[in-house]
Structure formats: C-alpha cells, structure tokens
C-alpha cells in the first residue's frame, strides 16, 4: 500500500520548474533548483521490451541519469517508491498538429462561380497554391496546454507537429508535451517534410482530381531539380527553395488508405524517394502490395463505429465491405506486423481519449505487445533520427516516461504519471488499485465483498449467494474508506450499516455503526484479484472473417487462375474470314487461343459444354470511366494527368461489367477540357491490385474534348479560356506550337557537348509539352469527345497541320455528316448507339450514325461511357441492325474487333483466332439478342465471371452478412457505439463529372 509522505513529495515536484534558460530575464532573484529524482522498486519496461524487475530509474534535470536493477541512488535525490507499478518510455506521435493553428477551411469549391486559374498566395512563392513547402511549423508553434494534457493522458510525451494543408506542407517540428516553455519543449525545429494528395486550403482550381495532385507533385519534383541546377536562379521561388532545403529530412506522406499509399510510394519511386507513409487503417486489405513498397508506415488506430443493424430493412443499406472493415480494422496493425511491415502508431484520426482503448484492442486483435511498444517509441524516434534523445529508457535520453498501474496493454491499467523532460504530470493519484475480493468481518458475520472498478469509480457488492447481491456504497479518500450497505434487501432502512475505516497491510479496518447506534469493529482482508469475465468473452469472439480480393462483397479469397479450357460444340463468332462456325470447339491454353475446330480433344483443366450456346471474343469498351478514383482535372490543358495513376481495383462496376462480357476497357479522362488526361487500358481482372489491371505493352492514349463541356457552357460565370469553338481550336494550335518550340530548345541543348552544357541553361522539363510532343511524334493517340461536325472537321485539320492523325473520335454523334472526311483523314469512331437530345449539341444525333460511318469505311465502335451500359454493349451493338441494317457479324464487331483496332490491340484481341488472347465470352443465346446472358467471361484463360459461381457467391455473401450482423448486435449489447447510416456509394462516373459532384444523369 502507499507509503505516507509520498503525496507531499509529489506536490513539491508538481510545482517546480525543471529547466530554465539562462538567457531569459528574471524578474526577482535566481531560483534555480536541482531536479534529482529516483524512481525505485518499479517494473521498468524499456522500448526494447527488456523488463527490469525491481528497477531504479534516476532522473537528473530533464534526462535519465541511470537505469537498472542495481543502481545506486546518490544522496539528495527524492525517492519515489513504485512498488507494483510499471514504468514505460512515454509514447511518440509523429503525426499531430499540436500547438499549431488549424489550417484555413478549404470548404466547398463552387463550380458555378468563375474559376481561379492562378495562385492567390501573395509573395514570391510557387505558381501553385497547393505547394506550401515554405511553411515552417516551428515558426508558428506555441504550447497548447489543453491539447498537451489530453495527449499526455493518452501516454504521449513527444510529438511531431505539422500543418495539414497542401500537397507540399512544409516542415514539421518535434516537441515534447511539457507545458512550461516554447523554447525548451522544441527538440528539433525542422524535423521532417510533409506531403499529401490533398490541396487543402488552396482555392486555385488546379489540381482538382486525385491524378491532378499526383501530376502536380511530379512536376514540382522536376521543377525543383531544374531550379536547383540553375545558377543564378532564373527567378526566386521561395517554395522551391524550401522544398530543396528540406529534401534531406525524413519525407512523410499522408495517405488515406492502402490505395493512396501505393500511389504515393509510386511517385516516390519515380524520384528516388522513399516516403514514410501515414496509412488509413485499411492496409490489411492489400498487405503484400503495401509490404512491397518498402515504406515505413505511420498507422492510425481508426476503427469505424458499428452500424445500427437491428432493423433488417435498414441493415440492407450497409455493405458487406463496410461490415467486414468494421470487424477487421482493429486487426490491421497485427496483420501488418505478421507480414513484416515496419510501422509507428499515431493517435491521429481518432479521439485522443480513445487512444489507449484502441491500442489495447489492436493488441487483442493480434498486435504483439512488443511491437505495440516499439511502434510508439523506438520506431517513431528512429524514423525521425532522434532515437538518441527519445524513444527508450536509456541513460542520457530525455526523462520522458510513464508510470502505470500495470501492463499498459491490459484493459484496466491506469496511467498515473506522465513525466516529460524530467517533469512530472500527474494523471491520477498514485495509489494501489483497491479492486478485488475481500473477506469482510462485521458484527460476527463473514461477508464476501467484491470491489470493482478503478480510482474514482469504485463499486462494491456483497455476494450472498448465486442470485442475491447486496449493493455496497464505497468511497476511498487516499488511505481512508467509507462504506455502507444493508444486510436485508427486504428491509433496507432497518438493516443499514455505515462504516468508516483506513487501510492496513492486507486490507482495511475501522468502525461500523448499525441502526442500533452502537459502534463496532470491522475488517476486510484482501483475498484475490477478480478475474475479468468480459475479457474472456471478447477473446472467444476473435474469429475474424476472411480478407477478400477485392474488398467488396463479390470478392474472393483466391483469384481465378489461368487454365487450359476446352469449349465444346458452340456457335463460334470468329470475327475472321471464317465467320460464324456452328458446332465448333475452341481450345484455350497458356492464356491464348490455341485451336479452333471440330472434335478437338485435350486434357484440359476445364471443359465447357457450349451446345446451344454462342462463343464470342470478349467485349471491348473504348470509352469507360470505371475503376478510376477521379475522372476530370480542370486545367484547359490537362495532358499531364494520368488515369493510370489512380486506378481503383475495388470498383464493383468491374464485376458487373464482367457479367456483361467485358474483357477490355479504356478508362478515359473526362471531357471537361479541350486537352484531357492520359487514359489507361485495362482488363477487368477482378481481384488484382490496381497496377495489375493494366494491359502491359499497350499504346498510350489521351482524351481530347470539344464543344459544350470544354466551353463550360453550363457554368454561366465561367471565365476559363476557351469559351467558344473558335477558342478551342486555338488551344490546340497553341499547345502543339509550344510543344514544337520546346522540342527545339531541348534539341539545341542536347546537341551541346558536356562542356558546353555545363555553361548552358538546361530547359525546364514540362509534362504538358512532353505529352503534346508524344502526340505529334505518333507515340500517343487521341480519343476525342466530339459531337458536332464543325469541330470534328476542325480537329482533323489541326492534326494535319501538325502532321499527325486523330486516332478516334469518341461519342462523335454527328460523325455521319463528315464520315467521308474522317475516312480520308484516317480517324476511327466510337459512338453511342442511340443517345441524343440530352443537350443542345446532340440535337441532331441519329441512331444510324454508327451504320453510316461503318458503311463509309470508318473503323467504328460502340462505347458505353457508363457503368450501366457497359453491362450490355452487345445489345447496343445490335441496335445497328435495327438502325441502319448492318449484318449481324458487322454489328458484333462494333464492340469487339473494331474497338480493338481503335485501341491498337487487334493483334492480340478482338477475334477468335489462334494466338490471340484467350478473352472469351460464352453466351446463353445469340449474342446480339436482348435475351442473351453472358454465362462465362474468360480473360487470358482465367474464368473471371461464371454465372454458376456467382450464384454460389450470393449465398456466401448472405452468410457472411448474417454473421457480421450478429457480431454487431453483440457489440451493441456490450456497449459499442452504433450509428444508423448506409454505406457510402461511389458515384458512377461519366465523362462530364468533375470529381463526381457535378453528376447529372440527364446530361453527358
């Protein structure tokens, strides 16, 4: 039990200033006192998880002087006996904004007002407002007592503080959570440099998309290098100066989950930088990809609330993915640990008050205590290169430590004290936990007294038998105790005992008064600690669901594998000279089409009986926006942005597209700009990581757009150039002209000798010019959103002027008016079958468009631009039979061979021919009939969609939902917070969507 006299020592310590700076003026006489303290008899846990029993830790001023089992305490040191207590190094959080003003609110950016083209920041700073690299947190830092207290309560002693604003966020400062002096708490002024893919308070229009942020970052790295190499500087850019000056620091990147984590790491790889990446809490969903980044992580302990699922109708709007994440989020750190990912833990993204509970939950869900402690001490300290000063209980390190009632990772353990730089901050009075089972002797009776709870909230109970308990009021005041209870439940007032007492070596004793007014002696003897029942329950419940790929309901634990498949006796639409072959077999081997013929045999892994069924090559969509996290950036020339940077493998639209026979799609940038971003050609390999969706070796494509969208016609206050079709032409002429100038400059520079180069100024690398040059030089191909004939004709003339050809006009609803000119130019067309009249420029769209262009000899495809229509492009193709009388074979080619040609993939796809990719659909009926259903969709010999398997999966989904709903209900019963809300639904993007909130289904 507690030693008397300690309280006095503590109050002395609490009021005394550990360090003072000699350079500061004193108003009075010098009053510098020594800070010399010894913590004795403690169980000391160092960051390396060495446990020193009966240890001593000696503090002198702000540092640890010595630590160990047999340490001599020099004379004059105040001794604090910590018998039964634990001492830990205090925690380090490398992801806070402690002591800094909150960034300005970014708010909603209006799309109805005039665009802000240039930066609003005054001064010689970067051209883009989101590059806030000149920000230095140390300049703004000042102690914030309230936040410091809440962080200390959660166990932290040292934090890294930065301003969460901008793509480049400047530098952070490392400070302790001591509360006395801004100067002494700051350990390191410029501790790390910070980045994100969120422009924060910048009101400048560009960048607006996930891919735009990446492009800006990429360009800024290139600009900084160019700027650095120039002497004298071409101009002053304080943002770039600061950027360059902070490159040697730890580079910390904020990701919001595994997907942005992988994107950030990829940018780092391009420039030889290994970021430390702050995660989002869902990294377990792609742990091998996360591990392969080699990045050290900073993990938040962010667990979603349980959903309110009592009402089955309400519960239906909660997705399985959200329920699974609710279950698995606390296992994230444990899973990463098992996979060898190095990480620190941060309190960010959750309330500081929940931190310890969340941490303990992570431990319960598989994080080892050793790793948990390292992730809060040694690892963050090492990340910042300050392990010599903080992060463990070693000699000469700062005396940043915690005194706890026991193992800090156990549920009931309390933090009593948090010492920062040798200074004590009391969290709770240092006392023993009184809970336990006591034998109470009172008035000749023996009672079984249980005291539960902890300091400030004790509860008492007397167990009479299995069903009857007597409530006991119990209150402690340091060494004193007051209790009362009634022995007779039926007759409470008459059987009341009021008791007063004090602690003894093995419990309590004192005086009690019954209703007869006599004082009698009582005593309570400690017998044993109470075993926690709830904890056992939780442990039993720890059977977690599977991790599935992708992490949505239709995902699976195992990905489909490439097989040798023999499809027997189908009606085969070859798209070749052979035409449609009845009763024919197709053999798929090694991901390719091996053989087409009758009566084939092979020891295939799988034989598909296709009698009465139709076999076609996979459907190809020239124009889709599935599987992209963003669609449009907003710069008039956005050619620097790349859809391939922001692919989203978890888009359920991919699965739905597979169920419609899709095996290849072009994920295009949107149509907000005359020159849009670069597209990605993918196969919907359901379950793979984003990078693995891409078709290797495919040519590069880019989106252009014409007409109402690029003129921003629907925004009446738009000021962005161009506002007319005349201006649109000039945007192109300007871009290509400048690109040629740029090429000339580089050619001139590159032709210099090494010696000459040393004295010459290198031109600036510009991602926009580079892309425009790729187009002129035939290395990147245009797919241009287009409607009316004048602009279609115009763009062909611009291309001819610069010596290249437009690859594809997409949408091209008035292509029928200029089909002959397109043919002559060599442009292809990818159109809607029958869309029209949703805006002015499509007033004269006709459903015969595809047929006319096809008949005129233009390579013509039918596309979707829709997560819905991509599910039944075969039917859209069939409309060209009704409208324009195409043959059935030609109609099918509109969604297979022809788009393959437009995407330069016809040597690998688009027909059933030996040697081509085994991208095959098995249809239940004539593939151009509305009654046909895709039964199997095969990509390179792997069955990615199978109607039968889909049926089985529906049962799996139902069972898994039921299991999780039961768990949520249990959690609610056990007191977990729940909220009534549906799962989030990602917008189905169309080409006019700017980040998804301009969606208007009635307008493309």
CB neighbour class for 466 (10 Å; exposed up to 12, middle 13-18, buried from 19): exposed
Q: Tell the smallest beta-carbon distance from residue 320 to another protein (Å).
A: 5
Pick the closer one to another protein by CB: 373 or 819. 819
987 binds another protein (CB under 8 A): yes
Name residues contacting another protein, limited to 169-208 (CB under 8 A): 198
Q: Is 982 in the site for another protein (CB under 8 A)?
A: yes
**Residue 82: CB atoms within 10 Å:** 24
The SS3 call for residue 307 is strand
Among 58, 138, 652, 706, binds another protein (CB under 8 A): 652
**Structure tokens that stand for 486 in this block:** 């009634």
**Beta carbon of residue 724, minimum distance to another protein (angstroms, whole number):** 18
Give yes or no for residue 966 binding another protein (CB under 8 A).
no
Between residues 316 and 719, which has the closer beta carbon with respect to another protein?
316
Q: Does 937 bind another protein (CB under 8 A)?
A: no
Alpha-carbon gap, residue 921 to 884, rounded angstroms: 26
> Does 846 sit near another protein (CB under 8 A)?
yes
Least Cα distance to 893 among 920, 854, 925, 865 occurs for 854
Residues 6+ apart with CB under 8 A from 741: none
Interface positions, 868-887, toward another protein (CB under 8 A): 868-869, 871-872, 875, 878-879, 881-884
329 binds another protein (CB under 8 A): no
Q: To the nearest whole angstrom, how small is the minimum distance from the Cβ of residue 149 to another protein?
A: 29
Of the candidates 13, 16, 7, 6, the one whose C-alpha atom is nearest the C-alpha of residue 41 is: 6
Least distance in angstroms from the C-beta of 667 to another protein: 16
Q: Per CB under 8 A, which of residues 712..731 are in contact with another protein?
A: 714
- 959 makes contact with another protein (CB under 8 A): no
Distance CA 390, CA 384 (A): 10
Q: How far is the CB of 830 from another protein (least distance, A)?
A: 18
Closer to another protein at the Cβ: 876 or 917? Answer: 876
The first and second tokens of residue 499, run together, are: 């008791």
Options 30, 33, 108, 977; binder of another protein; rule CB under 8 A? 108
Residue 991 contacts another protein per CB under 8 A: no
Contact between 307 and another protein by CB under 8 A: the answer reads no
Which of 499, 339, 414, 346 is CA-nearest to residue 85?
414
Touching another protein, residues 778-837 (CB under 8 A)? 816-817, 819-820, 834-837
Scanning 92-100, 506-514, 674-682, 983-991 for contacts with another protein by CB under 8 A, the matching segment is: 983-991
Nearer to another protein, 172 or 554 (CB): 554
What residues from 489 to 548 belong to the interface with another protein (CB under 8 A)? none
Report the residue from 256, 346, 663, 860 that binds another protein according to the rule CB under 8 A: 256
- CA neighbor of 926 nearest in space, from 464, 612, 600, 603: 612
By CB under 8 A, the residues from 850 to 869 that bind another protein are: 852, 855-856, 867-869
Contact call for residue 320 and another protein (CB under 8 A): yes
Report how far apart the first and last C-alpha atoms of the chain are (Å, whole number): 76
User: What's phi and psi for 920, nearest 5 deg?
Assistant: -135, 145
Closest CA relative to residue 402, chosen from 348, 364, 355, 343: 355
Count CB atoms within 10 A of the CB of residue 4: 9
- Please tell me whether residue 66 binds another protein under the rule CB under 8 A: no
The footprint of another protein on residues 549-588 (CB under 8 A) is 552-554
Say how many residues touch another protein, by CB under 8 A. Answer: 80
Beta bridge partners, 91, equal 156
Cβ 539 to another protein, closest distance in Å? 30
- Write the DSSP symbol of residue 203: -
Are 790 and 712 in contact, with CB atoms under 8 Å apart? Answer: no
Structure tokens at 689: 């990581």
Q: How many CA atoms lie within 13 A of 167 on its CB side?
A: 30
Q: How far is the CB of 251 from another protein (least distance, A)?
A: 23
Region binding another protein by CB under 8 A among candidate stretches 82-90, 440-448, 653-661, 794-802: 653-661
Q: What is the 3-state secondary structure of 559-614?
A: CCCECCEEEEEEEEECCCCCCEEEEEEEEEECCEEEEEECCCCCCCCEEEECCCCE
CB of 629 to another protein, least distance (A): 8
Q: If binding is defined by CB under 8 A, does position 278 make contact with another protein?
A: no
Q: Which is nearer to another protein, 14 or 316 (CB)?
A: 316
Nearest distance in Å: CB 260, another protein? 11
Does the footprint of another protein cover residue 659 (CB under 8 A)? yes
> Mapped to the 3 state alphabet, what secondary structure does 924-942 carry?
CCCCCCCCCCEEEEEECCE
Coil, strand or helix: which one is 308? coil
């Amino acid at each position: 039990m507690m030693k008397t006299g300690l309280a006095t020592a503590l109050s002395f310590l609490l009021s005394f200033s550990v360090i003072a700076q000699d350079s500061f003026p004193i108003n009075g006489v010098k009053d510098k006192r020594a800070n010399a303290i010894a913590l004795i008899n403690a169980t000391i846990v160092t960051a390396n998880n060495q446990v020193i029993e009966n240890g001593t830790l000696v503090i002198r001023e702000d540092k640890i002087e010595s630590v160990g089992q047999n340490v001599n305490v020099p004379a004059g040191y105040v001794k604090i006996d910590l018998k039964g207590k634990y001492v830990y190094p205090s925690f380090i959080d490398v992801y806070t904004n402690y002591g800094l003003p909150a960034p300005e609110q970014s708010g909603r950016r209006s799309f109805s007002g005039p665009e802000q083209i240039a930066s609003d920041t005054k001064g010689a700073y970067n051209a883009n407002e989101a590059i806030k690299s000149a920000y230095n947190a140390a300049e703004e830092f000042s102690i914030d007592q309230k936040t410091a207290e809440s962080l200390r309560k959660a166990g932290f002693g040292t934090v890294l503080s930065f301003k969460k604003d901008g793509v480049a966020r400047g530098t952070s400062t490392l400070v302790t959570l001591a509360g006395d002096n801004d100067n002494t708490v700051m350990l390191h002024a410029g501790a790390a440099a910070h980045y994100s893919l969120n422009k924060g308070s910048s009101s400048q229009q560009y960048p607006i998309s996930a891919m735009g942020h990446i492009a800006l970052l990429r360009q800024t790295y290139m600009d900084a290098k160019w700027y650095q190499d120039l002497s004298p500087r071409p101009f002053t850019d304080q943002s770039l100066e600061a950027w360059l000056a902070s490159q040697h620091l730890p580079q910390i990147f904020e990701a919001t989950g595994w997907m942005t984590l992988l994107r950030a790491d990829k940018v780092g790889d391009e420039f030889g930088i290994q970021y430390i990446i702050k995660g989002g809490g869902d990294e377990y969903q792609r742990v091998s990809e996360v591990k392969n980044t080699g990045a050290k992580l900073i993990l938040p302990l962010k667990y979603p609330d349980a959903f309110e699922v009592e009402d089955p109708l309400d519960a239906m709007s909660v997705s399985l993915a959200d329920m699974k994440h609710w279950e698995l989020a606390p296992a994230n750190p444990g899973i990463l640990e098992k996979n060898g990912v190095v990480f620190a833990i941060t309190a960010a993204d959750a309330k500081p008050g929940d931190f310890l509970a969340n941490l303990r939950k992570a431990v319960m869900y598989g994080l080892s205590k050793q790793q948990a402690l390292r992730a809060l001490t040694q690892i963050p300290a090492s990340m910042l290169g300050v392990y010599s000063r903080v992060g463990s209980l070693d000699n000469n390190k700062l005396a940043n430590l915690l005194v706890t009632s026991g193992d800090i990772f156990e549920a009931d353990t309390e933090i009593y004290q948090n010492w920062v730089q040798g200074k004590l901050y009391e969290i709770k009075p240092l006392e023993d936990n009184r809970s336990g089972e006591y034998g109470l002797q009172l008035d000749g009776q023996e009672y079984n007294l249980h005291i539960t709870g902890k300091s400030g909230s004790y509860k008492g109970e007397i167990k009479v038998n299995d069903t009857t308990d007597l409530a006991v009021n119990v209150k402690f005041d340091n060494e004193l105790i007051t209790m009362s209870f009634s022995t007779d439940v039926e007759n409470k007032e008459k059987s009341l005992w009021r008791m007063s007492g004090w602690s003894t070596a093995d419990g309590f004793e004192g005086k009690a008064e019954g209703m007869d007014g006599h004082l009698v002696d009582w005593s309570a003897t400690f017998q044993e600690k109470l075993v926690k029942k709830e904890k056992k329950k939780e442990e039993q419940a720890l059977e977690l669901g599977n991790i599935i790929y992708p992490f949505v309901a239709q995902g699976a634990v195992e990905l489909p594998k490439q097989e040798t498949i023999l499809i027997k006796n189908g009606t085969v639409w070859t798209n070749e000279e052979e035409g449609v072959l009845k009763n024919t077999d197709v053999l798929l081997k090694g991901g390719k089409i091996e053989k087409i013929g009758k009566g084939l045999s092979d020891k295939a892994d799988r034989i598909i009986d296709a009698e009465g069924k139709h076999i076609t090559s996979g459907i190809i969509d020239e124009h889709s926006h599935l599987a992209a996290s963003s669609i449009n950036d907003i710069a008039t020339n956005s050619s620097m942005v790349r859809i391939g940077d922001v692919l989203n493998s978890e888009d359920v639209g991919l699965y739905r597209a597979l169920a419609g026979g899709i095996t290849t799609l072009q994920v295009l940038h949107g149509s907000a700009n005359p020159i849009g971003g670069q597209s990605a050609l993918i196969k919907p390999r359901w379950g793979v990581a984003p990078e693995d969706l891409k078709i290797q070796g495919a040519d590069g494509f880019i989106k252009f757009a014409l007409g109402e969208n690029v003129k921003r016609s629907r925004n009446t206050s738009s000021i962005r150039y161009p506002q007319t079709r005349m201006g649109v032409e000039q945007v192109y002429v300007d871009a290509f002209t400048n690109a040629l100038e740029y090429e000339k400059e580089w050619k001139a520079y590159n032709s210099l000798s090494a010696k000459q180069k040393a004295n010459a100024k290198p031109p600036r690398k510009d991602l926009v010019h580079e892309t425009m040059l790729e187009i002129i030089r035939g290395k990147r191909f245009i797919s241009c959103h287009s409607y009316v004939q004048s602009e279609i004709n115009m763009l062909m003339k611009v291309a001819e002027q610069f010596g290249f050809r437009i690859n594809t006009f997409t949408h091209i609803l008035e292509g029928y008016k200029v089909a002959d000119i397109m043919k002559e130019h060599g442009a292809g067309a990818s159109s809607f079958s029958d869309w029209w009249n949703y805006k002015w420029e499509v007033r004269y769209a006709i459903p015969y468009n595809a047929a006319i262009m096809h008949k005129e000899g233009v390579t013509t495809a039918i596309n979707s631009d829709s997560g819905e229509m991509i599910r039944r492009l075969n039917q859209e193709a069939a409309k060209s039979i009704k409208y324009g009388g195409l043959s059935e074979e030609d109609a099918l080619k509109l969604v297979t061979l022809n788009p393959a040609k437009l995407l330069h993939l016809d040597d690998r796809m688009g027909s059933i021919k030996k040697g081509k990719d085994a991208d095959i659909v098995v249809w239940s009926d004539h593939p151009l009939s509305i009654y046909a259903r895709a039964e199997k969709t095969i990509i390179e010999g792997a069955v990615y969609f199978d109607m039968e398997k889909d049926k089985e999966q529906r049962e799996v989904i139902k069972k898994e939902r039921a299991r999780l709903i039961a768990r949520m209900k249990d959690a609610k019963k056990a007191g977990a917070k729940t909220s009534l809300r549906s799962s989030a639904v990602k917008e189905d993007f169309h080409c006019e969507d700017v980040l998804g909130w301009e969606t208007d289904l009635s307008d493309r």
